[in-house]
């Protein structure tokens, strides 16, 4: 196993979470979820990926409302949401925290309810982000999972609590998480990307990502 | 964007902006230049260039009012206005604090949003023709905004001869002159943003802006150089 970037590991985890999905849509500024989706599509060509803000080849012809209309009909089964804050009840906050203003809620309030498999994704894993209770609920719902730069949690809908499934950081997860959560009896280290996954990411996913996220592709893969 | 720079040069005040469904550089420039009293939007962001610094500071210091909304609610509120009905149903946003506003009501997993009828729709388009029509292609939210607004002001990239509505291939992407109040020729008028199929966004300029606008002084220098000097503002580097 050669060295790999943290972004490459996260893309692999996302690709594995997408097993069985038919159609994922990706909102603004989400290069890692997009990388995971493109990787997944290599092993399942029937898996459709729609990027909301492409620089070219926009998948929609009814303007920016079409994404929400598709979701309302159940034609999208995976969507990614993040947050300035995420709490232990899976609420997300994209509006304001600790006196600071963030961009806003985008379509999150609606997509969280309309899309059956929402994956919460945030690279920063800290008590500042993962809080007991968000200051503003932009959106509420039942996610499939919460993935951070340090760990993967599943969501227990009946208990309304997260469960730690795997970790990919040596840091103390409990000490860097602001909310209470359960721990899977089969807690493990997140499997590293395989040689094959890494090769696919670098040769096939990276050039595609570079078209819509040039700064990200330059930073992670050195593509210009 | 050319119209936004002109609004700043004429020292507009007290504007109320609606994001369809989000806002970006235009709003950040207008806010930083002191033209804006209030924004209603699902988000304000510079995309890959990051947070909109003048918006962020203005909200944190309480100098503008923000009405937070969510994308499908903006689309639906404009669709209500274009149909001339008072409200429109939207799928549930249960659990969201966005529901704390008097003009929305959620019942039985349906959100009811009140129609929004803006005074002006303002955007840049690829073509206008001699009959006063404007072509926006697949950017249908611009058509909805034009239909819903009392007036519609357009800057355009190129003038087309004749009447685009007589061309079956172009017609589905056209906003009829019924809705267009005035249109002005502004080549590269979207710069430093892009116009799909014609030119891309000027990423270097956008990240320069994002850095400069982090401070009030840096923003003021940006305005002096790129907005208040008309010759330079329309000629990209």
Q: What is the pLDDT of residue A74?
A: 96
| Structural domains of chain B sorted by starting position, each given as residue range(s) with its CATH number in brackets | 2-68+202-233 (3.40.1080.10), 71-114 (no CATH), 120-185 (no CATH)
Which chain B residue is nearest to residue A101, measuring alpha carbons? B56
Q: Tell me, what's the pLDDT at B236?
A: 54
Q: Complex ipTM, two decimals? A: 0.93
Q: Helices A6-17 and A31-43 sit at what angle, rounded to 10 degrees?
A: 50
The enclosing H or E element of B233 equals: helix B230-233
Q: Chain A partners of B17 at a C-beta cutoff of 8 Å?
A: none
Q: How many CA atoms lie within 13 A of B133 on its CB side?
A: 20
* Touching A: B residues 209-228, CB under 8 Å: none
In the structure, how many helices (H) and strands (E) does chain A have?
A: 7, 13
Average pLDDT over residues A166-188: 96
Q: Which residues of A touch B142 (CB under 8 A)?
A: 63
List pLDDT tens digits, range A107-117. Answer: 999 999 999 99
Mean pLDDT of chain A: 94
CATH class of A6-221: alpha beta
Report the pLDDT value the prediction gives residue B237, as an integer from 0 to 100. Answer: 45
CB contact under 8 A, B93 and A113: yes
Q: Could you say which residues from 161 to 220 on chain B have a Cβ atom under 8 Å away from some Cβ of chain A?
A: 194, 196-197, 200-201, 203, 207
Chain B residues with beta carbon closer than 8 angstroms to that of A58: 138, 196
pLDDT of residue B66: 97
Place of tokens 């700043």: B8
pLDDT per residue as tens digits for the range B47-98: 888 999 999 999 999 999 999 999 999 999 999 999 999 999 999 999 999 9
Distances (CA, A) of B90 to A110, B71, B76, B182: 9, 11, 7, 32
CA–CA separation, B223 vs B209, rounded Å? 10
Query: Partners of B39 in the beta sheet?
Result: B17, B66
Of A55, A65, A138, the CB nearest to B75: A65
Of A63, A104, A215, nearest to B43 by CB-CB distance is: A104
Shortest CA distance to B208 belongs to which of B5, B4, B25, B6? B25
Q: Which residues of chain B have pLDDT under 50?
A: 237
Q: Which pLDDT belongs to residue B235?
A: 53
- Identify all chain B residues contacting A99, using CB atoms and an 8 Å cutoff: 60
Suggest the residue from A25, A34, A103 to mutate for an interface test with chain B (most B CBs closer than 10 A): A103
């Amino acid at each position: 196993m050669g060295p790999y970037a943290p972004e490459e590991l996260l893309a692999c985890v996302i690709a594995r979470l997408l097993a069985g999905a038919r159609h994922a849509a990706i909102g603004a500024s989400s290069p890692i979820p997009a990388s995971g989706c493109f990787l997944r599509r290599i092993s399942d060509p029937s898996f459709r990926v729609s990027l909301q803000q492409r620089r070219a080849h926009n998948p929609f012809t009814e303007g920016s409302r079409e994404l929400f209309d598709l979701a309302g009909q159940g034609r999208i089964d995976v969507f990614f949401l993040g947050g300035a804050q995420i709490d232990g009840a899976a609420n997300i906050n994209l509006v304001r925290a600790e006196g600071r203003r963030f961009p806003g809620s985008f379509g999150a309030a609606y997509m969280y309810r309309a899309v059956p498999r929402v994956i919460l994704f945030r690279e920063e894993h800290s008590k500042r982000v993962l809080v007991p209770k968000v200051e503003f609920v932009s959106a509420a719902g039942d996610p499939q999972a919460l993935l951070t730069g340090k760990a993967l949690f599943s969501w227990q809908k009946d208990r309304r609590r997260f469960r730690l499934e795997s970790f990919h950081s040596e840091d103390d997860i409990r000490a860097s998480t602001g909310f209470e959560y359960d721990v899977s009896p089969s807690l493990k280290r997140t499997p590293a990307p395989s040689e094959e996954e890494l090769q696919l990411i670098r040769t096939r996913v990276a050039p595609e990502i570079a078209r819509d996220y040039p700064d990200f592709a330059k930073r992670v893969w050195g593509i210009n | 964007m050319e119209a936004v720079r002109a609004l700043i040069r004429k020292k507009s005040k007290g504007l109320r902006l609606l994001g369809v469904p989000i806002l970006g550089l235009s709003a950040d420039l207008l806010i930083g230049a002191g033209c804006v009293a209030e924004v209603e939007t699902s988000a304000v962001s510079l995309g890959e260039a990051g947070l909109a610094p003048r918006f962020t500071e203005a909200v944190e210091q309480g100098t503008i009012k923000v009405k937070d909304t969510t994308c499908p609610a903006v689309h639906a509120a404009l669709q209500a206005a274009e149909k001339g009905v008072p409200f429109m149903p939207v799928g549930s946003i249960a659990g969201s604090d966005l529901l704390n506003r008097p003009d929305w009501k959620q019942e039985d997993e349906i959100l009811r949003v009140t129609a929004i009828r803006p005074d002006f729709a303002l955007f840049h388009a690829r073509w206008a023709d001699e009959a006063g029509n404007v072509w926006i292609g697949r950017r249908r939210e611009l058509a909805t905004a034009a239909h819903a607004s009392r007036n519609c002001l357009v800057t355009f990239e190129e003038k087309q001869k004749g009447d685009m509505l007589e061309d079956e291939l172009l017609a589905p992407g056209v906003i009829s002159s019924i809705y267009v109040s005035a249109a002005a020729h502004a080549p590269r008028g979207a710069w430093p943003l892009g116009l799909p199929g014609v030119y891309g966004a000027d990423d270097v300029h956008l990240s320069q802006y994002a850095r400069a606008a982090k401070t009030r002084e840096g923003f003021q220098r940006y305005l002096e150089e790129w907005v208040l000097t008309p010759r330079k503002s329309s000629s990209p580097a």
